[in-house]
Amino acid sequence: MSLNDHIHQLTREHLALVDGALVSKPPLLAELRAACRSNLGAIGGGSGGAGMIVNSKAVKIENDIKAEALNEHFEMTGKEYQGTLVELITSWAAIQSPEWQDYLERTTLNWIDKIREMLEAKRPPWRPSIPCPACGKRFHGPEREPCIGVNYWDDENETIAPPSTWTAECDGCGAEWNGDNLRWLRAAADTPKADVAEVA
């Protein structure tokens, strides 16, 4: 694939082969942006504390891409870039230098691989930093990971599952809960409805 193909996948809707069929996919940078506000593919969950879900792995990939793209622009032009990341990457389609085309082709392919790897990773449980209602512990193990893991994702439909189907487990004491027994989660997490579906 060429630099233009890579730019297209990163910045525009594109066709991708999924289970033997061509399907329309959103721009990879848009998927990455959306993943920054979820725990999609985040190793060990990823939470900005008790409330909003934040995927630190996606945020790091996005920040690395931004920094690298701005650096490449400065190296090519000697000027700082003032527009959006999508505009910057799109502008690379007009580059005439074969050396820069080859270099940016490898760079954008590397970004595509990193984004896809993160997007296709199985979603781990959401790990809010709240105490377990059974044992009272918030963290466990030598790495001091949050105890509570909430399985909230519907892998088959690629969406948040209905809260009544969620399950949770404490890795510290082994206590388990399901939809009807998860009412404590919303109150304990003090999470705005926009960030995590309410457990009724």
Last residue of one domain, picked from the residues 62, 93, 114: 114
Q: What pLDDT band is residue 189 in, cutting at 50, 70 and 90?
A: low
User: Is 119 among the domain residues?
Assistant: no
> Does 142 share its domain with 102?
no
Q: What is the pLDDT of residue 44?
A: 40
CB 148 within 8 A of CB 170: yes
The tokens 């030598």 sit on which residue?
Answer: 142
> Does 41 share its domain with 100?
yes
User: Is 178 among the domain residues?
Assistant: yes
Q: What is the pLDDT of residues 52-102, one digit of tens each?
A: 456 788 899 999 999 999 999 999 999 999 999 999 999 999 999 999 999
Calculate the average pLDDT of the chain.
83
Q: Quick count: other Cβ atoms within 10 Å of Cβ 23? A: 10
Q: What is the pLDDT of residues 22-40, one digit of tens each?
A: 889 899 999 999 888 765 4
> Does 93 share its domain with 142?
no
CB 65 within 8 A of CB 85: yes
User: Is 120 among the domain residues?
Assistant: no
Last residue of one domain, picked from the residues 79, 114, 149: 114
Q: What is the pLDDT of residues 142-168, one digit of tens each?
A: 888 899 999 888 777 777 888 888 899
Domain span at 93: 3-114
Q: What pLDDT band is residue 42 in, cutting at 50, 70 and 90?
A: very low
Q: Based on the number of CB atoms within 10 Å of its own CB, is 125 exposed (0-12), middle (13-18) or buried (19 or more)?
A: buried
End-to-end CA distance of the chain: 48
